[in-house]
Amino acid sequence: MRILTVDGPGGAVLRKRARSVGRLTQEVVRLMDEMVEVMRRAPGVGLAAPQVGYSLRVIVVEYDGQLYQLADPEITYREGEELGQEGCLSLPGVLCDVRRSTRVVVRGKNRRGRTVTVRADGWLARIFQHEVDHLDGILITDRVESPADIHYVDRERVGEVVG
């Protein structure tokens, strides 16, 4: 399993709205586990299934020692707003200044198929918004307010990449 880039083979899946998972299967749980491994190797702090070629509403997020694996996640509440810089594993060498909510509530199904609610603020809220955007075919370059908010850098300088 590898991370797709926008301009690479298979990258078209990154621009499509992913389909709902519905009932969790062993295949979806296995996908979640593989995504965690890929995200950690990258390294990143989040990854969406379309980034590895699966048009499914599945995300994994790992931040501050906590791992989240969610199917059919949706943001049910947003609060505040701030401009922050994000990178993306599917856009290597690109950083964007993106306006996001500072607090969100995310609801989805965990790996056992149970509905869970995650309250997130700060960087964690930004990560969840970034990953849910991927499920809707939205990239950070789509969220910039001006072309001047897109920065091209050396891959080694990107640092902590969202996903």
Sheet holding 66-79, edge to edge: 46-48, 58-63, 66-79, 103-109, 115-121
- Residue 148 is encoded by which pair of tokens? 């001047």
Distances (CA, A) of 133 to 25, 26, 65, 74: 23, 25, 23, 10
Cβ atoms of 58 and 70 closer than 8 Å: yes
Better-predicted residue by pLDDT, 9 or 74: 74
Does residue 4 sit within a domain? Answer: no
Q: What is the mean pLDDT of the chain?
A: 94
The model's pTM: 0.93
Give the CATH number for residue 86.
3.90.45.10
pLDDT at residue 150 greater than cutoff 90: yes
Residue 98 has pLDDT above 90, yes or no: yes
| pLDDT for position 117 | 98
Q: Could you tell me the residue range of the domain that residue 124 belongs to?
A: 11-157
Is the per-residue pLDDT at 157 higher than 90? no
Flag whether 163 is in a domain. Answer: no
Rounded to whole angstroms, how far apart are CA atoms 72 and 20?
6
CA distance 85 to 94: 10
**Number of folded domains that form the chain:** 1
Is residue 2 in a domain? no
Instruction: List the alpha helices (DSSP H) in the chain.
Output: 26-41, 123-135, 140-143
Q: How far apart are CA 11 and CA 74, in angstroms?
A: 23
Does the residue 5 lie in any domain? no
Region 89-114: what's the mean pLDDT?
A: 96
Q: Let me know if residue 26 belongs to a domain.
A: yes
In a domain, 58, yes or no: yes
CA dist 153 and 51 (Å) reads: 21
User: What's the mean pLDDT in 73-89?
Assistant: 97
Q: Which residues are catalytic?
A: 131
Dump pLDDT digits (tens) for 111-149.
Answer: 999 999 999 999 999 999 999 999 999 999 999 999 999
